Structure 1
Amino acid sequence: MLLGMLWSVPVWSTPWEQFDSPSEGESESIGTYNNGCLVGGESLPLAGKGYQVMRSYRGRYYGHPDMIQFLTDLSQQANKLALGQLLVGDIAMPRGGRFSSGHASHQTGLDADIWLKVVDQPLSEDELIDVQPLPMVHLKQYKINKKNWGESQALMIQLAAADERVARIFVHPVIKEQLCAREWTERDWLRKVRPWWGHYYHFHVRLNCPAGDSSCKEQAAPPEGDGCGAELASWKPKPKSEQKPKKKVVKAKKKVPPPPPAQCLVLLEGSGKKDG
C-alpha cells in the first residue's frame, strides 16, 4: 500500500525530489533513461580540472559512477586541447527518477547536459547560480549563429561522441548540419550525434548501460551511417507554401507517467529525505 501511495504524488511534485542523498548499495542504473532510477549514485564535485557545475542549488549533479568518470575524463581532455572550461548542467537527482520539470530522461544517472558556452576562466560562485545560455542557432531562420558557434564547440562534441562509453549525443538539427559539413578524418562518431529540438545551446550526452547492470534497459542503436543525408534533411522546416493548414488543437489532458520499476519504488521508502 505504501508504494502505491508514494507514486500517487502528482508528476509536478515528483517524490524523487524529496531526497538529498543517494541510496546505499552497489551502484546500478535501473529501468530506461526516461523511466528509471539510480542506486548508489555518486555526486560530481562542483568544480574540478577543466569543469564547473552550474546551478548546484537544484541538486541535479548526481550520476552513475560511469557518468561521473566520463565527465571527469572529458573535462581533462578538453583542458589539454584548450577547448575551454566545461559548464556541466543537469545530470540526475541523488536517486535518479523523474524531474518535476526540465527533462523526461536523466532518470538513471546516465544522461548529462554540457553547455556549448565556452569560458576560458572559471566562473565565480555568483555567476554559476544563474548562467545565461549562449544560443548556437538562429531558431526562426533555422541557421547557425556564426558569432557563437566555432571550432571549440565542434571539437568538444566530437571528443565526447568518439568515447566508446557514449550511446548518443543530442544536438539541434542545425548543429548536426554543421558537424556533417566538416571534413573529418574519421566520421563513424557522427552516427551517435542525433538531431533533437531544444538542444541549441547545449549538448546532451547519453551513456550506454554499464556492464553488469542487468536491470538497465538500453535504447535501440542509432541507424547505420553518419545520419547526414535524408534523415537530417527531414528535420528542416518546410516553406510556408508547402505547409499543411494547421488543424485546431484540442488541449490534451496532462499525461500521467507510468510507474517506475518496482526496484525503484523501494528507493522511495529509504532514509535521506530533505526534511530529515
Structure 2
Amino acid sequence: MRAVSRRLAVALAFAASMAGAIADGWAADGPPAKELFGGMKLPTRADPSSYGFYSKGCLAGGVAIPTDGPTWQAMRLSRNRRWGHPQMISLLERLSQDAAKYDGWPGLLLGDISQPRGGPMLSGHASHQIGLDADIWLTPMPSRTLSANERENISATSMLKKNAFLTVDPNIWTPAHARVIMRAASYPQVERIFVNPAIKKKLCETWKGDRTDLGKVRPYYGHDYHFHVRIKCPADAAGCKDQADIPPGDGCDKSLAWWFTDEPWAKPKKDPNAKPAPKPKPMQLSDLPKACAMVLNAPSVDSEWAATYSANGAAPVSALAATPEPAAAGAAIAAQMPDNAPADVPVPLPRPAGN
C-alpha cells in the first residue's frame, strides 16, 4: 500500500510537466469538471494531499467518515460527499466528541464534506473541492439512528425567525448552539467558520466566554441551517492554497454592520442598452491545478481501504478499538449502515492494520 502511495505521489509531483498535456486533451467544450469529479465513486490510492484552492482544486488520498459514529450521523448519503482530507475527518470526529462531552450537544449531523476526489460538485457548492470544508447542521443529533430515507428527506432547522429577515429566533437558538460553533472555532487548525450574519450578530451580543476565536466566525449568505467549517492547508500540502488571513479583532464591527444594510442584498442594476452577458462557461478540468488531471485518472482504492484516522495517526477514532481484520471491519461497519441505504454509495471502512 505504501509503495503504491509513494509511486502515485511521485506521479502527482511530476504533474507540473506532464498533466498539462492530459488536461489539454479535454477540449474546452468537453465534459465540465463537475461531471468528471461528480462521477467518481472512490478516492485515489495515494498519500493524502489537497491541490489548489477551496473553490478550485481536488483531493488525492481522501478518506471517508463512517455513516454513523457514537457522536455523529452523516446525512444525504446518496450524494457520496462524506470524503475529506484525514485532518478534516479527524477534526469532525474530535469536535463531535468534545461537543457532546463539554457543550451539551448530543452529536453532529454532518452535511457535505467533499467528493471522493474533491473537485467541483454537480450541485450545491462552489467550495468543498479540496477536502478541507465541512457543513454541520444546526439541528442536534437525535438519540436514535436515522433511517436512510430520513437522512435524504428531513430538513435542517433554520435559526431565523419566519418572515423576519436576519433575526435569530430565540425560541430555536440556544446557548448550546453558540458553544458548539465556538468549540469548532477554538481548534488551531480551523481557519474560518461561516454562519448567517444574524448568527454572527447573536454571538457578538451574547458570547461571554473567551472571544479570541470569535473573529474566525465569519458572516456569509445562507448558513442559517448549518455552519461551515474550513481548516487550513496541511503543512505538507505544497500544492494547497490557503485563504488570506482574517482581519484582527472579533469581527463585531463595521464589517458585520455592513450585512445589515441594503447593499449586500441589492440586485445588480441592469443597463437596458447593454448586450446580454454570455452564459458562464462551466469549469473545465483544464481550469483546475494540473495535478487534478492525474488525480482524476489515478487508480481507485479498494473499498475496504476507505478509512478514517484519529488525530494522532493511530487507530481510527470511529473504530473505538484496535483495527480488526479487513473482512471483520467490513462486516462491522456495513452493519452500521441504515436500512435501505443507497446501493451505489461505497461504505466507508477502517483501513486494515499496518497499511
Please report the TM-score for the alignment, with normalisation by the length of structure 1. 0.90
- Are 2:110 and 1:88 equivalent residues in the alignment? yes
Count of residues in correspondence between the two structures: 271
Amino acid paired to 1:265: A
Separation in 1 of the partners of 2:255 and 2:87? 31
Amino acid paired to 1:121: S
Instruction: Say if 1:118 and 1:152, in contact at 8 Å, map to a contact too.
Output: no
Instruction: Say if 1:84 and 1:152, in contact at 8 Å, map to a contact too.
Output: no
Separation in 1 of the partners of 2:75 and 2:100? 18
Query: What corresponds to 1:267 in structure 2?
Result: 295
Using the TM superposition, give the Cα deviation of residue 18 of structure 1 relative to its aligned residue in structure 2, in angstroms.
Answer: 1.6
SS in 2 for 1:74: helix
Instruction: Say if 1:88 and 1:115, in contact at 8 Å, map to a contact too.
Output: yes
Instruction: Say if 1:38 and 1:96, in contact at 8 Å, map to a contact too.
Output: yes
Amino acid paired to 2:180: M
Using the TM superposition, give the Cα deviation of residue 246 of structure 1 relative to its aligned residue in structure 2, in angstroms.
Answer: 6.5
Using the TM superposition, give the Cα deviation of residue 57 of structure 1 relative to its aligned residue in structure 2, in angstroms.
Answer: 1.3
Query: What corresponds to 2:134 in structure 1?
Result: 112
Using the TM superposition, give the Cα deviation of residue 140 of structure 1 relative to its aligned residue in structure 2, in angstroms.
Answer: 4.5
Query: What corresponds to 1:209 in structure 2?
Result: 233
Using the TM superposition, give the Cα deviation of residue 132 of structure 1 relative to its aligned residue in structure 2, in angstroms.
Answer: 0.8
Separation in 2 of the partners of 1:15 and 1:246? 33
* Cα distance change on mapping 1:7 and 1:205 into 2, 3 Å: farther
Separation in 2 of the partners of 1:7 and 1:109? 26
SS in 1 for 2:297: coil
Query: What corresponds to 2:124 in structure 1?
Result: 102
Separation in 1 of the partners of 2:193 and 2:151? 24
Query: What corresponds to 2:68 in structure 1?
Result: 47
Deviations, residues 231-250 of structure 1 (Å, cap 9, x unaligned): 100011339xxx98963375
**Greater strand share, structure number:** 1
- Are 2:205 and 1:181 equivalent residues in the alignment? yes
Instruction: Say if 1:63 and 1:91, in contact at 8 Å, map to a contact too.
Output: yes
Q: What is the percent sequence identity of the aligned residues?
A: 39
Using the TM superposition, give the Cα deviation of residue 73 of structure 1 relative to its aligned residue in structure 2, in angstroms.
Answer: 0.2
Partner of residue 4 from structure 1, selected from 2, 24, 27:
24
**Greater helix share, structure number:** 2
SS in 1 for 2:259: coil
Using the TM superposition, give the Cα deviation of residue 149 of structure 1 relative to its aligned residue in structure 2, in angstroms.
Answer: 1.1
Higher alpha-carbon deviation: 198-207 or 140-149: 140-149
- Are 2:59 and 1:38 equivalent residues in the alignment? yes
Query: What corresponds to 1:58 in structure 2?
Result: 79
Partner of residue 150 from structure 2, selected from 127, 144, 150:
127
* Cα distance change on mapping 1:6 and 1:267 into 2, 3 Å: farther
Instruction: Say if 1:30 and 1:215, in contact at 8 Å, map to a contact too.
Output: yes
Using the TM superposition, give the Cα deviation of residue 131 of structure 1 relative to its aligned residue in structure 2, in angstroms.
Answer: 2.4
Query: What corresponds to 1:248 in structure 2?
Result: 270
Partner of residue 137 from structure 1, selected from 144, 160, 164:
160
Separation in 2 of the partners of 1:212 and 1:271? 22
Using the TM superposition, give the Cα deviation of residue 56 of structure 1 relative to its aligned residue in structure 2, in angstroms.
Answer: 1.2
Separation in 2 of the partners of 1:75 and 1:204? 14
Using the TM superposition, give the Cα deviation of residue 201 of structure 1 relative to its aligned residue in structure 2, in angstroms.
Answer: 0.6
Instruction: Say if 1:167 and 1:206, in contact at 8 Å, map to a contact too.
Output: yes
Using the TM superposition, give the Cα deviation of residue 97 of structure 1 relative to its aligned residue in structure 2, in angstroms.
Answer: 0.5
Partner of residue 217 from structure 2, selected from 168, 180, 193:
193
Separation in 2 of the partners of 1:7 and 1:148? 50
* Cα distance change on mapping 1:56 and 1:6 into 2, 3 Å: farther
Deviations, residues 79-98 of structure 1 (Å, cap 9, x unaligned): 21331220000000001101
Gaps spanning 5+ residues in structure 1: where?
none
- Are 2:233 and 1:233 equivalent residues in the alignment? no
Amino acid paired to 1:107: Q
SS in 1 for 2:87: helix
Separation in 2 of the partners of 1:84 and 1:21? 30
- Are 2:185 and 1:161 equivalent residues in the alignment? yes
Separation in 2 of the partners of 1:7 and 1:146? 53
- CA RMSD for the aligned pairs? 2.3
* Cα distance change on mapping 1:34 and 1:55 into 2, 3 Å: same
Separation in 2 of the partners of 1:145 and 1:122? 26
Please report the TM-score for the alignment, with normalisation by the length of structure 2. 0.71
